């Protein structure tokens, strides 16, 4: 593993986020069922991922009925969890496999013309797919009757992960709306301002507070909070909310319309101006307000006209006729916001990013280029210093400062290996500088580049979980240098005793053309099955691996087993195994013997059943081929011949011809010689067996010679 050893103590350098909460020890219960305390021994080792394997061993004094011990696994989890639970992380991991793989294959197709001009379209598609995984689908259209006093829509809390992804998309992937980044940031803030509310006052928090009070308020326009809420919302461009709030103004009520006509006219005029605000963006969602302009000159024209209208209204004589003090002041204040009054904007916004957005909206609508944005952001931060640093802030600053290293570090530190692996695709598409940095081979990383490093780390995280290990190969195979080697490692570490895992591993080998690995896994599985007495499975897997050496070796042991049951009825058990062996000697190896032996036994049984000499003839053929076959173990020769005595002494005519008899006699001779050797194993047969076979053969030979 190209390990990057994290400096102990400085968590900002570690790649996998690590939380040290050393305050109180956490207790994990052991769930075992068959054991009775006290336990004699306990041993602990690491299992997969952050799981401990605890082996509990009983003392010897326990009765035989009890198991001797038990192995349990304990998962060490971060119980509190983060924003995103483990199950949700897995869902994101599953969902991002297809978009990632698709993008990689598109990249391979493009080969050298990596930066063809429509590449970003692929990246954008990828980004949208990934983005859709990060939030739960919005349940829209559920509310048929809208509550007029519900200013803020109640939606589930968005995650910072999604916010971070969208930021990356805005700045790196979306080339189409490069000119309207301010508008996209405005939308972004509308969705995610609530994330900052937890630690800090925000416009969103202000609106939430006001929403709570609104239900009990009788005359809204008398409450200064009403005007404050509207000013704040206006400053950050939430026009629909402002207009909705304005329409709650008391002057709209029928009984008041008569005597507050001018006041109502002013309120409505401001509302109309707000909803007519020119926006430089291709389109707007249905519920949002404003008028869209696509090109800069058109927008400029509209912008100037709009501001002229505001100024005109500001200087209007109607204000003098407005008796309601709060309304007059409030509306005037709003007009100042729209005219871009810096100090008021600063007063009605809370977070620096809110001020930042308000500047785009009302002061510098044409801000383009990261450098300008960065200068503005620094100015805003200076005006609104923040005590509590939200993790998104670091990312935003890194992006605006065009500092790829910072963006990488923030992604990785705050959002983990999934984020960095997938967001790299956006980074490399969006910035040449980042692309060079990420694809440069680093000698301190063992010659791999940063992109590969992050993929390897993410693959490692995936591999550490039993449900995600099998998607790790997708990421490993996208790593040019270390990927395949680590994939082999990963496969070898899978528990072959699990049937499903074994088959899955073999499938992964097939897809990646790792035939040797697959054959090795089959061998491992075969040997394991053999050791556990699963002889059939063992033979099957060794056959699949075409491992003749091991097949021959286990053949020897199998024959010991057969040797005891040659003539008894339990041979039925063997039928299934022999079926499995098939007829091809290549895959059967030394077990080919069993196959012929089965035929021999079948015919012999028929002979004993007293049927025709046809069966006897067949039995003899099998016998001869058995004796000819080099795989037939020597110690079976005599038992086989002894079993065939009836054939050798066949009454009607000799069943074996001269040459066949000679063959058998030779084998017998060989056997007699072998008996002298020290390693000869004696077979459990009556002592006269050898002599009776020899006699029968001699007898048969004589009759055969006469017949020929």
Please tell me the chain's helix, strand, coil percentages from 3-state DSSP, rounded to the nearest 5.
65, 5, 35
Q: Where are the alpha helices (DSSP H) in 178-295?
A: 181-197, 203-214, 224-235, 239-246, 254-257, 261-275
If 0-12 CB within 10 Å is exposed, 13-18 middle and 19+ buried, where does residue 285 land?
exposed
3-class secondary-structure state, position 448? coil
| Cβ 642 to other proteins shortest distance, Å | 25
In three-state secondary structure terms, 49 is coil
- 47 is written with which tokens? 């299992």
Report yes or no: 168 and 427 within 8 Å, Cβ to Cβ.
yes
73 binding other proteins? (CB under 8 A):
yes
Closest approach, Cβ 689 to other proteins, in A, equals: 28
By CB under 8 A, which span of 73-81, 171-179, 448-456, 648-656 interacts with other proteins? 73-81
Q: Per the structure block, which two tokens stand in for 257?
A: 């319309």
Interatomic CA distance for residues 514 and 223, integer angstroms: 73
CB of 62 to other proteins, least distance (A): 15
Minimum Å distance from CB 539 to other proteins?
Answer: 8
| Number of residues assigned to the chain | 708
Residue 53 three-state SS: strand
CA dist., res. 466 & res. 518, Å (int): 19
d(CA 539, CA 541): 6
Integer Cα distance of 690 and 671 in angstroms: 10
Is there binding between residue 418 and other proteins (CB under 8 A)? Answer: no
Distance from C-alpha of 451 to C-alpha of 675, rounded to nearest angstrom: 69
CB of 118 to other proteins, least distance (A): 25
Min dist CB 537 to other proteins, Å, is 5
Instruction: Quote the least distance from Cβ 480 to other proteins, whole Å.
Output: 23
Q: C-beta of 583: minimal distance to other proteins in Å?
A: 7
Question: 185 vs 591, which CB is nearer to other proteins?
Answer: 591
Q: Which of residues 603-632 bind other proteins (CB under 8 A)?
A: none
Residue 86 binds to other proteins (criterion: CB under 8 A): yes
- Judged by CB under 8 A, the stretch of 3-11, 232-240, 315-323, 462-470 that binds other proteins is 462-470
Residue 469 sits in the site that holds other proteins (CB under 8 A)? no
* Cβ atoms of 394 and 406 closer than 8 Å: yes
Q: Which is nearer to other proteins, 90 or 384 (CB)?
A: 90
Asked if 420 and 428 touch (Cβ cutoff 8 Å), the reply is no
Closer to other proteins by CB, 65 or 382: give it. 65
From the list 195-203, 282-290, 291-299, 533-541, the region that binds other proteins by CB under 8 A is 533-541
Stretch that binds other proteins, among 148-156, 353-361, 482-490, 531-539 (CB under 8 A): 531-539
Give the C-alpha separation, 87 to 372, whole Å: 42
Instruction: Find the part of the chain contacting other proteins (CB under 8 A) among 238-246, 310-318, 535-543, 614-622.
Output: 535-543
Instruction: State the nearest-atom distance from the C-beta of 522 to other proteins, in Å.
Output: 10
Taking the mean position of all CA atoms in its chain, how far away is CA 10? Answer: 28
Stretch that binds other proteins, among 18-26, 254-262, 502-510, 639-647 (CB under 8 A): 502-510
Of 465, 550, 592, 601, the residue at the interface with other proteins (CB under 8 A) is 465
Asked if residue 523 binds other proteins (CB under 8 A), the reply is: no
DSSP per-residue string spanning 631-654: TS-GGGHHHHHHHTHHHHT-SSS-
Give the CA count within 13 Å in the CB-facing half-sphere of 389. Answer: 8
Contact 697, 661 (CB under 8 A): yes
**Residue span 17-56 as binding mask against other proteins, x where in contact by CB under 8 A, dash where not:** ----------------x-----------------------
CB 612 within 8 A of CB 652: no
**CB-nearer residue toward other proteins: 3 or 67:** 67
Q: Binding other proteins by CB under 8 A: which of 340, 394, 536, 633?
A: 536
- Identify which range of 90-98, 183-191, 390-398, 678-686 contacts other proteins by CB under 8 A: 90-98
Identify the residue among 11, 50, 98, 372 touching other proteins (CB under 8 A).
Answer: 98
Residue with tokens 């002979």: 607
Rule CB under 8 A: is residue 77 a binding residue for other proteins?
Answer: yes
Binding residue for other proteins (CB under 8 A) from 122, 281, 390, 535? 535
Q: Which of 231, 428, 494, 543 binds other proteins (CB under 8 A)?
A: 543
Name the DSSP letter for residue 172.
Answer: I
State which residue, 532 or 556, has the beta carbon closest to other proteins: 532
The residue within the footprint of other proteins, chosen from 367, 464, 537, 699 (CB under 8 A), is: 537
| Cα atoms in the 13 Å half-sphere on the side-chain side of 621 | 9
Residue 97 binds other proteins, judged by CB under 8 A: yes
Site for other proteins in 560-599 (CB under 8 A): 572-577, 579-580, 582-584, 586-587
Sort residue 49 into left (φ over 0), alpha (ψ -120 to 50) or beta: left
Question: What is the footprint of other proteins within residues 367-406 (CB under 8 A)?
Answer: none
Q: From the list 325, 389, 493, 499, which residue makes contact with other proteins (rule: CB under 8 A)?
A: 499
Residue 179 sits in the site that holds other proteins (CB under 8 A): no
Number of neighbours of residue 520 by Cβ within 10 angstroms: 17
Q: Scan for tokens 């689908």, then name that residue.
A: 137
Looking at the Cβ atoms of 397 and 508, the one nearer to other proteins is: 508
Q: Say how far apart CA 705 and CA 708 lie, in whole Å.
A: 5
Say whether residue 135 binds other proteins (CB under 8 A). Answer: no
Tell me the C-alpha distance between 551 and 544, whole Å.
11
- The 3 state secondary structure assigned to 511-551 is HCCCHHHHHHHHHHHHHHHHHCCCHHHHHHHHHHCCCHHHH
Kindly state whether residue 75 participates in binding other proteins, applying the rule CB under 8 A.
yes
Residues that bind other proteins (CB under 8 A): 33, 73, 75, 77, 85-88, 90-91, 94, 97-98, 465-467, 470, 499, 503-504, 507, 510, 532-537, 540, 543-544, 546, 572-577, 579-580, 582-584, 586-587
């Amino acid at each position: 593993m190209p390990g990057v050893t994290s400096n102990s103590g400085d968590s900002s350098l570690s790649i996998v986020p690590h939380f040290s909460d050393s305050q109180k020890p956490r207790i994990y219960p052991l769930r075992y069922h068959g054991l009775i305390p006290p336990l004699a021994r306990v041993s602990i080792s690491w299992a997969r991922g952050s799981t401990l394997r605890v082996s509990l061993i009983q003392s010897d004094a326990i009765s035989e009925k009890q198991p001797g011990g038990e192995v349990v696994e304990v998962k060490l989890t971060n119980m509190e969890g983060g924003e995103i639970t483990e199950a949700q992380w897995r869902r994101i991991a599953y969902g991002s496999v297809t978009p990632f793989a698709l993008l990689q294959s598109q990249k391979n197709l493009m080969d050298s013309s990596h930066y063809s001009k429509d590449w970003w379209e692929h990246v954008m598609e990828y980004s949208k797919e990934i983005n859709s995984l990060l939030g739960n689908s919005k349940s829209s259209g559920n509310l048929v009757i809208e509550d007029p006093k519900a200013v803020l829509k109640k939606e589930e809390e968005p995650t910072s992960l999604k916010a971070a992804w969208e930021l990356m998309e805005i700045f790196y992937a979306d080339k189409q709306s490069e000119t309207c980044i301010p508008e996209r940031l405005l939308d972004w803030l509308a969705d995610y301002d609530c994330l900052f509310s937890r630690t800090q006052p925000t416009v969103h928090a202000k609106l939430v507070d006001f929403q709570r009070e609104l239900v009990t308020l009788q005359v809204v326009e008398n409450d200064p909070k009403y005007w404050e809420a509207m000013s704040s919302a206006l400053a950050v461009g939430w026009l629909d909310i402002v207009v909705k709030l304005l329409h709650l103004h008391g002057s709209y009520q029928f009984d008041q319309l008569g005597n507050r006509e001018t006041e109502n006219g002013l309120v409505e005029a401001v509302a109309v101006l707000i909803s007519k605000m020119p926006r430089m963006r291709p389109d707007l969602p249905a519920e949002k307000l404003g008028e869209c302009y696509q090109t800069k000159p058109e927008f400029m024209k509209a912008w100037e006209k709009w501001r002229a209208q505001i100024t005109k209204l500001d200087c209007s004589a109607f204000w003098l006729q407005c008796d309601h003090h709060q309304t007059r002041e409030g509306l005037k204040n709003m007009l100042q916001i729209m005219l871009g009054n810096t100090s008021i904007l600063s007063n009605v916004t809370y977070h620096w990013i809110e001020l930042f957005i308000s500047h785009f909206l009302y002061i510098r609508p044409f801000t383009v280029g990261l450098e300008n944005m960065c200068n503005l952001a620094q100015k805003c931060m200076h005006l609104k210093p923040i005590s509590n640093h939200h993790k998104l802030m670091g990312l935003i600053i890194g992006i605006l400062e065009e500092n790829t290293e910072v963006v990488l570090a923030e992604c990785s530190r705050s959002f983990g290996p999934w984020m960095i692996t997938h967001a790299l695709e956006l980074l490399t598409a969006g910035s040449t500088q980042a692309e060079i940095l990420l694809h440069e081979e680093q000698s301190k990383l063992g010659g791999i580049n940063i992109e590969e490093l992050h993929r390897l780390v993410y693959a490692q995280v995936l591999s550490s979980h039993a449900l995600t290990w099998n998607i790790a190969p997708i990421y490993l195979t996208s790593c040019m240098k270390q990927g395949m080697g680590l994939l082999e490692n990963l496969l070898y570490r899978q528990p072959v005793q699990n049937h499903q895992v074994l088959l899955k591993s073999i499938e992964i080998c097939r897809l990646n053309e790792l035939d040797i690995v697959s054959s090795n896994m089959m061998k491992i599985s075969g040997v394991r099955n053999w050791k556990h007495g699963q002889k059939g499975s063992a033979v099957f897997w060794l056959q699949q691996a075409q491992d003749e050496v091991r097949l021959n070796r286990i053949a020897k042991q199998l024959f010991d087993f057969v040797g005891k049951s040659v003539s008894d009825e339990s041979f039925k058990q063997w039928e299934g195994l022999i079926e499995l062996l098939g007829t091809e000697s290549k895959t059967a190896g030394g077990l080919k013997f069993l196959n012929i032996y089965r035929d021999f036994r079948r015919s012999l049984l028929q002979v004993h059943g007293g049927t025709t000499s046809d069966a006897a003839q067949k039995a003899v053929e099998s016998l001869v081929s058995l004796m000819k076959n080099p795989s037939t173990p020597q110690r079976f020769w005599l038992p086989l011949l002894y079993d065939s005595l009836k054939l050798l002494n066949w009454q009607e005519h000799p069943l074996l011809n001269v040459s066949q008899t000679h063959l058998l006699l030779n084998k017998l001779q060989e056997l007699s010689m072998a008996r002298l050797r020290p390693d000869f194993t004696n077979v459990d047969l009556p002592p006269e067996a050898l002599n009776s076979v020899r006699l029968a053969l001699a007898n048969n030979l004589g009759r055969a010679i006469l017949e020929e």
